[in-house]
Amino acid sequence: MFPLPDVKKQVSWRTWGYRWRSSDTFILSSMSMALFTDEMLFAFMVPLLPYIFENRLGLDTSLTQRLTSIFLVEGALISIVSSPFIGNIADRASSKKTLLLVLLVLTLISVLCLSITTSLAWLFIGRFFQCIVSNALFIVGMATMAENIGSEHMGKIAGLTSTLTSAGTCSGPVIAGFLFGTGGYWTAWAGAALFLVVDIIMRLLMIEKQQKRRDTACRDLNGSPCAEENRHSSETEPLLGGDMSSATEEIGGWRFYVCLFRQPRFMAGIVCYFVFALFIASFESTIAMRVRYAFDWGVFPIGLLFASIQGPGMILAPLVGSLKDRVGSRVPTTIGFISLAPFLWVLGVAGDERFPWATLGNRGKIIYGVCTTMIGCFMCFLMGVGTMEATRTVDELEDLYPGIFGPYGGYSRAVAVTNMSWMSGLLVGPILAGFMVERFGYLELQCVLAVTSLLASVNAALNLSSASPQKEECDSDFGTDEP
C-alpha cells in the first residue's frame, strides 16, 4: 500500500501564514481580545446611561437610578436563562471559528442598534440581544481555548481570563467616559465599534487546530488503552443514567447534565464558583454604604477599596492558574476559602462599636483597608475553579467513553453551566447582603459569609481534583473494577 499524504503539511503549505495563524499564541491572543472586548462592552454603557435616559430618551432624572439598576439586572438574568441553550448550540457547531465570527458580527449590529435607539422599549430589547450574544461569546471563547490549547492548561487559561475580565470590566466605563468627554456620544460608540472590527479581523485570520482527542481512547501511563471498546452496560449505568446500550452511545439533552452533575468534582467546582461570585457581589453591594457610615469616606477612598479587591487578581491570577495546572485545584481552592474566613469576620468587626479595639482612632480604617487587600489576594486562589473542573470532567468522561458527548464534545455545555452558577452568585449576593444588613447588621452578614467560606473549604477539600489529568489514572475517579 502507498503511504497516505500528510494532509496537515499540505494545508500548511497552501494556506498563507498557517504556522502562526494556528499557533497557540495567536489563538490565545484572539480569544483574549474577544473576552476583553466582551467584558468591556458589557460595562461600556454604564457611564452613558444617564445621558441616554435623560437626553436621548427624554426621561425624568428621578427615574435614572431605577432604570440603570433594571438595565444591569437584565444582563445577569438573561445570561442565566440563555446559557444552557447557547452551550447546546455551540457543542453542535463543527467550527467554533465560524460561530465566533457570526457572534462578533451580531455584537457589532447590537451595538449599532443600541447607539441609535431613541425608545426605552427598544433600548431594553437591544440590551436583551446584546446580553445573549455577549454570553455566547464568553462560553464559546472559553470552549475554543480549551479545545485548541488543551484543558491541561485550563488553570493558566482561567487565570488569564480572570485578568481579562477584571481589565475589561474596569476599563469599559473608563474608555466610554474618556471618549464621551473627548468627542461626544457618537465618538464613544465609534470606539466600541473599532474594538469589534479588530476582533473580527483576528477571528478571520485564526485557524482552528484539528482535534485529535475525541478520536482516540484514553491511555494510561504505560501507553495501553485504559478502557475497552465495549464495556458491559451495567458498568456505565451508575455513571451515565442507566439506559445506554453501550459506552460509546452519544448522550445529549438533559442526560448530558445529569451525567455531569453525578461527578463530585464537577458539582464541587460549580458550588465553589457560586460562592466566589456570591462574595464579590456582596462586597460590591455593601462596601460603599458601610465605609460611608462607619468612616465617613467619600468616592475616592471607596474606589481604592474596590481596587484593593480586584487589583491582586489581575496580577496574581496567571501565577495561581499555573500552580493549579501542576497540583490541581483542591489545595489552592481549599487554602483560599480557609484563609478568607477570618478576614471576612474582621471586615465586619472594623468600625463596629461593639469592638473598641477595632474602632479607636484610625485603627478601624486601617484594619478595613488591610482586610480588603488580603481578601483580594486570597480570592485569587478561587479564580477559574468552576471552569477547570468542568472541562477536566468532560475530558475524563470522553477519555473513558470516546464519543460520549458527540463529535464536537461537551466543553461549551459544561462552561455554560459554570457561567450559570457564576451569574446566579452575582444575583443572590446583593439579595443576601441587603437582607442581612437591613435585618441584622453588617457584622452578622460577614459572619454568614465567613461560615459559608469554611463550608466551601470542606467541599473543596473533599471533592475537587488534587492533581492534573496527566498525573491521574483515567479510571481512578469512576469506580471501575480495573486495577
Report the CATH number that the domain containing residue 259 is assigned in CATH. 1.20.1250.20
Q: Give the per-residue pLDDT at 336.
A: 95
Q: Is residue 130 part of a domain?
A: yes
Q: What are phi and psi of 225, to 5 degrees?
A: -60, 135
Same domain for 307 and 427?
Answer: yes
- In this predicted structure, what is the pLDDT of residue 231? 40
Tracing cell 473576552 back to the chain, one arrives at: 35
- Output phi, psi for 243, to 5 deg: -125, 30
283 and 193 co-located in one domain: no
Contact 272, 333 (CB under 8 A): yes
Of the residues 210, 240, 267, the one at which a domain ends: 210
- Ramachandran angles phi, psi of 315, nearest 5°: -95, -45
Residues sharing a CB contact under 8 Å with residue 302, sequence separation 6 or more, in sequence order: 287, 288, 291, 292
For the beta carbon of residue 193, count every other beta carbon within 10 angstroms.
15
Instruction: Establish if 360 belongs to a structural domain.
Output: yes
What span, in angstroms and rounded, lies between the C-alpha atoms of 338 and 343?
10
Cα three-residue angle 437-439-442, rounded to 5 degrees: 25
Side chain identity at 218, as an amino acid letter? C
Closest C-alpha to 424, from 268, 306, 272: 272
Around 160, how many Cα atoms within 13 Å sit in the side-chain half-sphere? 22
Instruction: Quickly count: other Cβ atoms within 10 Å of residue 230's Cβ.
Output: 9
Predicted local distance difference test score (pLDDT) of residue 467: 62
**Closest among 58, 83, 419, 115 to 269, alpha carbons compared:** 419
d(CA 443, CA 404): 49
Is 413 part of a structural domain of the chain? yes
Q: Say which DSSP state 210 is in.
A: P
Same domain, 387 and 462: yes
Same domain for 261 and 195, yes or no, is: no
Query: In this structure, are 287 and 354 located in the same domain?
Result: yes
For residue 197, the tally of other CB atoms under 10 A from its CB is 11
Q: Which of 478, 157, 193, 129 is nearest to 324 (CA)?
A: 157
User: For residue 54, what is the DSSP state?
Assistant: I
Q: Do 163 and 50 have their domain in common?
A: yes
Looking at the structure, do residues 285 and 174 belong to the same domain, yes or no? no
Mention every residue, 6+ apart, whose C-beta is less than 8 A from residue 306.
284, 287
Domain boundary among the residues 150, 179, 210 is at: 210
Cell (9 digits) for 383: 479564580
Predicted pLDDT at 248:
55
Q: Is 52 helix (H, G, I), strand (E, B) or coil?
A: helix
Note whether 121 and 256 are same-domain residues: no
Helix H or strand E segment including 453: helix 442-463
Q: Enumerate helices (H) and strands (E) in the chain, giving the number of each.
A: 18, 0
Contact (Cβ atoms closer than 8 angstroms) between residue 217 and residue 225: yes
Rounded to whole angstroms, the Cα distance separating 141 from 243 reads: 33
Q: Write down which residue in 157, 188, 210 finishes a domain.
A: 210
C-beta of residue 96 within 8 angstroms of C-beta of residue 140: yes
Asked whether residue 275 is domain-assigned, the answer is yes
The Cα 313–Cα 82 span in angstroms is 28
Q: Please, what is the end-to-end C-alpha distance for the chain in angstroms?
A: 40
Q: Which residue range forms the structural domain that includes residue 145?
A: 18-210
What confidence score (pLDDT) does residue 430 get?
Answer: 84
Is 238 inside a domain boundary? no
- pTM of the entire structure? 0.73
Is the Cα dihedral 322, 326, 328, 333 positive or negative? negative
Q: Which residues pair with 225 in a beta bridge?
A: 219
Considering the domain architecture, whether residues 395 and 457 belong to the same structural domain is answered as: yes
Domain identity same for 90 and 172: yes
* DSSP secondary structure code for residue 221 in this structure: T
Q: Assess if residue 482 is contained within a domain.
A: no
Instruction: Tell me if 9 is assigned to some domain.
Output: no
Say if 40 falls within a structural domain: yes
One domain, residues 409 and 294: yes
Integer Cα distance of 113 and 106 in angstroms: 10
- Output the nine-digit C-alpha cell for 413: 455545555
> Is the domain of 140 the same as that of 277?
no
Structural domain count of the chain: 2
pLDDT of the residue at 209: 67
Which pLDDT belongs to residue 357?
Answer: 81
Query: Is the CB of residue 419 less than 8 Å from the CB of residue 135?
Result: yes
Tens-digit pLDDT string for the chain (483 aa): 444 444 444 444 467 778 888 887 888 888 888 888 877 887 777 778 888 888 888 888 888 767 877 787 777 788 888 888 888 888 887 777 788 888 888 888 888 888 888 888 888 888 888 888 888 888 888 887 877 777 667 777 777 777 777 777 777 777 888 888 888 889 988 988 898 888 888 888 888 765 544 444 343 333 433 333 334 333 334 445 444 444 457 777 788 888 889 999 999 999 999 999 899 888 877 887 888 888 888 767 877 787 788 778 778 888 888 888 888 889 999 999 999 999 999 999 988 888 888 777 788 889 999 999 999 899 989 988 888 888 889 888 888 888 888 777 788 888 889 988 988 888 888 888 888 888 998 999 999 999 999 999 999 999 987 664 444 433 333 333 333
